Amino acid sequence: MTYTKRLDGRKHDELRETEAKVGVIKRATGSAKFRMGNTTALAAVYGPRELHPRFLQDPEKGRLRCNYNMMPFSGMGDRVRPGANRRAKEISMVTTKALLPAVDLKDYPNAVVDVFIELPQTDAGSRCVGIVAASMALADAGIPMKDLVCAVAVGKVDKSIVIDLDYEEEQYPKYATTKVDDEEVADIPIAMIPSTGEITLLQLDGDISKEDLIKALKFAKPAMEKIYEIQKKALKEKYSDLKGGKK
């Protein structure tokens, strides 16, 4: 039986409940919180500031560094081991690469902009939620950007294309309530610059046909446009509050 009804009752193209806010960390240059379902990311930006050690400096432009960290008891599965690990380093790297095309640091030679992304709670889609939070935090910090970066995971569950997989869908068919036709789950995190349509992140975990991949990419675009509107609304709300005298 094809996966026609999602385990949490959502439509195939429906995002989990979202929450977005900027300016959540007072001592940071810029900060943001983004929640999608039970996955929450807090992003803090520090800089631009002089980069040390100096041999890493670029005299033509500044550097962007992202640090992704899941807290030990944040995950739905096994406890996350504290400290650096291979997965965190890999996601830190792809997050940096996903954000770089939107960031302009040519006016900050020999400097660095650091982005710290902490996840106190996760239920799938953590790298995408982290990218969305980091993008808003960079904008809140006043870092020159051509646009925000939005991100979401799209995938194939039992032959059906769905948006924003949760943990139970990632672990399908373990949580299946009916007979499963296809046990392979494909999870595809995507990040995009909305104004240009440039895809800055595209990863794949699992197997999927070329035809289904093309369908998944088309399926993801409206969802990312919704996330883009949520990002812009959060930024506008902060600065409208400031204009009105609220803190």
* Within-domain flag for 164: yes
Residues 6+ apart with CB under 8 A from 49: 111, 112, 114
Residue-wise pLDDT tens digits, 176-226: 555 555 567 899 999 999 999 999 999 999 888 999 999 999 999 999 999
* Within-domain flag for 47: yes
* Within-domain flag for 127: yes
What 3-state class would DSSP assign to 132? helix
**CA-based diameter of the chain, in Å?**
60
Helix H or strand E segment including 129: helix 126-140
Whether 71 contacts 39, CB under 8 Å: no
Helices 210-243 and 126-140 cross at an angle (nearest 10°) of 30
* Within-domain flag for 4: no
Residue-wise pLDDT tens digits, 72-107: 776 666 656 666 788 899 999 999 999 999 999 999
CATH for 176: 3.30.230.70
Helix H or strand E segment including 213: helix 210-243
Q: What span, in angstroms and rounded, lies between the C-alpha atoms of 205 and 183?
A: 14
Model confidence, pTM: 0.90
Residue-wise pLDDT tens digits, 147-165: 999 999 999 988 889 999 9
* Within-domain flag for 6: no
* Within-domain flag for 115: yes
Task: Identify the domain containing residue 204 by its residue range.
Answer: 18-243
* Within-domain flag for 7: no
The count of structural domains within the chain is 1
Nearest in space to 136 (alpha carbons), one of 245, 56, 20? 20
Mean pLDDT of 24-45: 96
* Within-domain flag for 10: no
